[in-house]
């Protein structure tokens, strides 16, 4: 009696300088999840929350997505800006993630700045929390948010990768 429109998502694996990544796309070409292969359980957990009941089948991501990611890692760090993503978090999370995509490659923001940008200057830790539960890494650039004193503080894919991504973007502007 429940609406059982089981959505079918494709799971692709691509090689990058920072290790193999998992890309989940839907039938409309939107990216639903993107994470590093060694954090697969985490991605599956997030995906289960954001796309309940969807089935996952191995398959190639749309060419536009593959090419954009390749271009990004090759040095065209703005290549991801046109990609469409689709997530289903709370209203607060949606605001945070939208604010993330507004940070240009090569720049960084502090958690406090991001909190102020969405009109809740004191919701600093909550921003960190929403940041950490972002299902679409790299494209939604949660790695561009650092501590107010310049320290990297944390990253779901490991601080080493956060450092690499920031250096990559800083060197390619």
Work out what residue 1 binds among a copy of itself, DNA, none; the CB cut-off runs from 5 to 8 Å by kind.
a copy of itself
Active-site entry in 22, 33, 103, 142: 142
69 near DNA, rule: CB under 7 A? no
CA–CA dist 89, 151 (Å, integer): 27
**Site for a copy of itself contains 48 (CB under 8 A):** no
108 binds, among a copy of itself, DNA, none (CB under 5 to 8 A by kind): none
Query: Residue 60 Cβ, how far from a copy of itself at the closest point, in Å?
Result: 26
With b for 16 or more beta-carbon neighbours within 10 A and e for fewer, the 124-156 pattern comes to: beebbebbebbbbbbbbbbbbbbeeeeeebebb
Span interacting with a copy of itself, options 7-15, 89-97, 114-122, 139-147, rule CB under 8 A: 89-97
| Residue 32 phi, psi dihedral angles, 5° rounding | -105, -25
Quick one: which of 2, 55, 57, 151 contacts a copy of itself (CB under 8 A)? 2
Say how far apart CA 100 and CA 77 lie, in whole Å: 15
Q: What 3-state class would DSSP assign to 109?
A: strand
CB contact at 8 A, 153 and 166: no
Quick one: 98 or 170, whose CB is closer to a copy of itself? 98
Binders of DNA in range 79-118 (CB under 7 A): 89-93, 110-113
- Binding mask 2-41 vs DNA (x if CB under 7 A, - otherwise)? ----------------------------------------
Question: Is 142 marked active-site?
Answer: yes
Chain Cα centroid distance, residue 128: 14
Interface with DNA, residue 49, by CB under 7 A: yes
What's phi and psi for 64, nearest 5 deg?
Answer: -60, -40
Q: Could you tell me which of 101, 67, 86 has the C-alpha nearest to residue 28?
A: 86
State the residues that interact with DNA by CB under 7 A. Answer: 49, 89-93, 110-113, 120, 122-134, 142-143, 145, 147-149, 153-156
């Amino acid at each position: 009696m429940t609406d059982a429109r089981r959505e079918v998502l494709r799971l692709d694996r691509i090689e990058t300088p920072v290790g193999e990544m998992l890309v989940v796309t839907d039938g409309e070409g939107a990216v639903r999840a993107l994470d590093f292969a060694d954090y697969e359980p985490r991605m599956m957990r997030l995906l289960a929350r954001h796309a309940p009941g969807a089935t996952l089948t191995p398959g190639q991501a749309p060419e536009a997505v593959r090419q954009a990611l390749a271009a990004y890692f090759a040095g065209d760090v703005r290549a991801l800006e046109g990609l469409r993503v689709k997530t289903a978090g709370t209203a607060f999370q949606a605001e945070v993630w939208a604010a993330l995509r507004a940070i240009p490659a090569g720049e960084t923001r502090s958690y406090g700045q991001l909190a102020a940008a969405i009109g809740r200057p004191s919701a600093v830790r909550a921003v960190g929390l929403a940041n950490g539960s972002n299902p679409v890494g790299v494209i939604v650039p949660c790695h561009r948010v650092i501590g107010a004193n310049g320290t990297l503080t944390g990253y779901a894919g490991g601080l080493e990768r956060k450092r690499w991504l920031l250096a990559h973007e800083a060197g390619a502007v």
